Amino acid sequence: MNDPILSLTDVRRSFGEVEVLHGISLELRAGEVHALIGENGAGKSTAMKILCGYLSATSGVVSFKGQAHPFKDANEAEAKGVVMIHQEFNLADMLSVEENIFLGRELRRGILLDKKAMQAKTRVLLDQLNCSAPATARIDTLSNSDKQMVEIAKALSRHAKVLVMDEPTAVLTKTETAVLFEQVEALRAEGAAILFTSHKLDEVRQIADRVTIMRDGDVVHQGPTADMSEDQMAEAMVGRDVSQLYPPKGSVPQDADVVLKVKNLTVPGYSTDISFDLHAGEILGVSGMIGSGRTETMEGLCGLRRATATQVQINGVDVRITAPKQALGYGLCYLTEDRKGRGLLLDKSMRENLTLQALDTFGSILIDRAAEEAALATATKDFDIRASHKDVKVGNMSGGNQQKLLVAKTMLSAPQIVIIDEPTRGIDIGTKQQIYEFIRGLANSGKSVIVISSEMQEIIGLTDRVIVMRAGRIAGMLSGHDIAEEPIVRLAMGMAAQTELKTKEPV
């Protein structure tokens, strides 16, 4: 086995009095993909940032090409060919794609910027990734998946010798992920060392040669990926059996009350004539390809987008919703897929985030701080939210704990109907299991839930009925044993139904 290009040896890292890495060791070798996995908060991102010069180690050794050499900052690391793709986008929103890719390394023709050359090189990089985003497009106009492709293109442009990827596929479709993996294989063939982090264990099995598993700041396993099943990886990550990922489905009575009736909902530019019913105690899934209008339809229903409808009825009463506050007043609440951009205030504390949506219940003129603290203590316990201290800025919490805080914030308003968009994107399998149990618990208590998800197994394992959308319309509805991969895919892609495929038209 060749010598490591980049390694950590007995590395510890503390933030104040809290030690988050407890003497970990990790080696990256040329021509190898090394997976680093663990629960949110296990210390993976901290370890990666130490490798790439974004953080320093409290103690221990960082070695580069066999010599002790901790990078003084990320710029030095990149100059040595060590590049990191961040889980949170590290892009300048107001600049173009081309300007982001060449930021700080601009091509010049004399004293002037060579815009034509930079745009041409950007187009070549994006074409490698099958990304159609224009080189001149401003970053804040792009979808999350296109932003991720720009991050990847930026890394590829640096001709990395070591590429560290923190959750690069969290917002990518399967097709986009396959394109990324082709690039990973090419880099591996060229001799690059690659560190890959993902909560999608099937991806880890597919792409990685070796795997390091972390739990609570310690390395609990290292070895060839082929020696471990996905279930074994998951159990090592969380320290308990997670083979039963989804709780048992409930039984929604045929005569259960209709709590939400939607007729001919149209969100201009995104969806047309969407009609469905939602029953008390039901989990209704919304599936379909990226771009099918899933999210935009539900945002329109909740007043987050301009929409029209022949009828929207909640608990038998006709309503007209033009703003989220109105929806909340009717007991309807939307939990966004973008927890960092739209769901939480990352520079504020857990308390401030938790109570923001229900602030009027904590005082009309002066806020009852003691009541807020009590609500936070209850939420922290009920939703198993883990943080180093209660005043931590939410942006410094792990993705899984941010998601649990977002769920707690939503439920503090006591909604009767909850729409949850991508409930487990970018979180580990242990936290997924907790969130699935919570969602099923909501339904079992009589509340009604709509789950929008791009994860096929999540839709199949969690929901009681499924709406499948295609090109802004409902392609069909599935229930019972018909909730399976093939029928969903056929409806989502507009393929001819097989004779045994039974679909129900929306009511």
Q: Could you report the per-residue pLDDT of 410-461, keeping only the tens digit for each?
A: 999 899 999 999 999 878 888 888 899 999 999 999 999 999 998 898 999 9
Token readout for 65 is 């090409």
Token readout for 180 is 């990324």
pLDDT, one tens digit per residue, over 172-202 is 888 888 888 988 898 899 899 999 998 889 9
Dihedral (C-alpha) 353, 357, 363, 364: value to the nearest 10 degrees?
Answer: 130
**pLDDT for position 387:** 84
Residue 51 burial (10 A CB sphere; 0-12, 13-18, 19+): buried
Numbers of helices and strands, H then E, in the chain: 16, 22
CA distance 506 to 262: 10
Residue from 177, 168, 197, 195 nearest 52 by CA: 195
Cβ atoms of 213 and 232 closer than 8 Å: no
Secondary structure (DSSP) of 299-335: HHHTTSS--B-SEEEETTEE----SHHHHHHTTEEEE
**Residue whose pair of structure tokens reads 């198993």 in the numeric block:** 384
pLDDT at 506 over 70: no
Contacts 24+ apart (CB under 8 A), 155-158: 155/83, 155/84, 155/85, 156/125, 156/128, 156/183, 157/101, 157/102, 157/121, 157/125, 158/78, 158/81, 158/83
CA distance 377 to 83: 40
Ordered by where they begin, the domains of the chain are: 4-238 (3.40.50.300), 279-306+319-493 (3.40.50.300)
Compute the average pLDDT of residues 399-419.
91
CA-angle at 143, arms to 173 and 274, nearest 5° = 80
pLDDT, one tens digit per residue, over 156-165 is 888 889 999 9
Highest mean pLDDT among 22-26, 91-95, 497-501: 22-26
pLDDT, one tens digit per residue, over 241-273 is 777 889 999 888 888 999 999 999 999 999 999
